């Protein structure tokens, strides 16, 4: 059954059309990579899924219900930067989600609940490889470790959908490979549905079960802003054989 559905979604800023006629269904448990040239509305699309922005026209449905128009705990997110709170140590960053759920007034759990939350957070931190950094503040963590922390932080509330906005874009190639392995494992373990925006086309095809490319279908040289982007290519990747990057895309997505 389909989980997240975009029905004829348009996003317009005044006379500028960013996204037009986006029709997309994301199945439960899919790992969708979203690619496209700069300014093709990838990030806008993710903001829609996040609820950070509402479509000008059309509807976004989650299990048949209209998506709430603001970010909520059913959709986790990891951004390229600023994903973790600089004033909390790693452990507090991860327990934050549980604190919010269990203590709406003080934002801090107490007693037994606090102990349980800390145990759960420690387990998750150990899972992403940060078992030696419970008390470390994000500033003292490397870029890759910060993204590991951000993943643990997002997963503690057991979101149904995980949104990744160029999560590995700022990392070294070696660290990036480790993170690819980690995200694939977490995706299976937590039975997540993932939408990932990326600039790296190889990454898109390596990780995704489906690759969606955004671009403008039509160009008006006199008024380039009057046509928006939409999902121009949609590749399901059912087996390993199809994971080579199609030539048509190499032309579409040049180096970032």
Partner 1 sequence: MRRLLNARPRVGGRLLLGLLPILALVLLYLVVATARHTENPRDKITPIPAAMAAGIQTMAFEADPRTGEVPLVADTKASLQRLGVAVGLAAATTLVLGLTIGLLPYVRASLGPLVATISVIPPIAVLPILFIVFGLGETSKIVLIFVGITPVMVRDLATHVAAIPEEQIVKAQTLGASTWLTLLRVALPQALPRLIDSLRLSLCPAWVYLISAEAIASDVGLGYRIFLVRRYLAMDIILPYVVWISLLAVIMDLALQAWSRTSFAWAHPPRNAR
DSSP category for residue 139: G
- Measured between alpha carbons, how far is 34 from 12 in angstroms, rounded to an integer? 20
Contact residue for partner 1 among 44, 83, 146, 198 (CB under 8 A): 83
- Binding status of residue 50 toward partner 1 by CB under 8 A: yes
Contact residue for partner 1 among 3, 7, 134, 137 (CB under 8 A): 137
- Measured between alpha carbons, how far is 129 from 148 in angstroms, rounded to an integer? 8
Binding to partner 1 in span 147-166, by CB under 8 A: 153-154, 156-157, 159
Closest CB 194 distance from partner 1, rounded Å: 14
Contact 134, 125 (CB under 8 A): yes
- Binding status of residue 97 toward partner 1 by CB under 8 A: yes
Cβ closest to partner 1, residue 41 vs residue 51? 51
The set of residues, in sequence order, having a beta carbon less than 8 Å from that of 239 and lying 6+ positions away, is: none
Cα 51 from chain centre: 12
Closest CB 51 distance from partner 1, rounded Å: 8
- Binding status of residue 99 toward partner 1 by CB under 8 A: yes
Closest CB 46 distance from partner 1, rounded Å: 11
C-alpha torsion sign, points 184, 97, 161, 253 = negative
- Binding status of residue 76 toward partner 1 by CB under 8 A: yes
- Whose CA is closest to 30, among 161, 194, 205, 214? 194
Q: Which residues bind partner 1 (CB under 8 A)?
A: 50, 52, 70-73, 75-77, 79, 81-88, 96-97, 99-101, 104-108, 137, 139, 153-154, 156-157, 159
């Amino acid at each position: 059954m389909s989980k997240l559905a975009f029905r004829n979604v348009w996003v317009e800023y005044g006379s500028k059309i960013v996204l037009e006629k986006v029709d997309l269904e994301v199945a439960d448990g899919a790992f969708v990579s979203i690619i496209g040239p700069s300014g093709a509305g990838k990030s806008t699309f993710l903001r829609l899924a996040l609820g950070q922005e509402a479509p000008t026209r059309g509807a976004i449905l989650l299990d048949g219900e209209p998506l709430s128009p603001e970010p909520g705990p059913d959709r986790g997110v990891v951004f390229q930067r600023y994903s973790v709170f600089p004033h909390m140590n790693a452990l507090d960053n991860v327990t934050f989600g549980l604190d919010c759920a269990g203590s709406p007034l003080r934002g801090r759990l107490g007693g037994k609940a606090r102990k349980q939350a800390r145990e759960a957070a420690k387990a998750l931190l150990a899972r992403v490889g940060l078992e030696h950094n419970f008390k470390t503040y994000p500033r003292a963590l490397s870029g890759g470790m910060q993204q590991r922390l951000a993943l643990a932080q997002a997963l503690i509330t057991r979101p149904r959908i995980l949104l990744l906005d160029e999560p590995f874009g700022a990392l070294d190639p070696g660290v990036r490979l480790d993170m690819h392995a980690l995200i694939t494992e977490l995706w299976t373990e937590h039975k997540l549905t993932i939408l990932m925006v990326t600039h790296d086309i190889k990454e898109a095809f390596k990780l995704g079960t489906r690759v969606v490319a955004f671009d403008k279908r039509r160009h008006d040289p006199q008024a380039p802003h009057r046509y928006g982007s939409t999902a121009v290519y949609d590749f399901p990747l059912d087996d390993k054989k199809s994971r080579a990057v199609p030539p048509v895309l190499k032309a579409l997505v040049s180096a970032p």
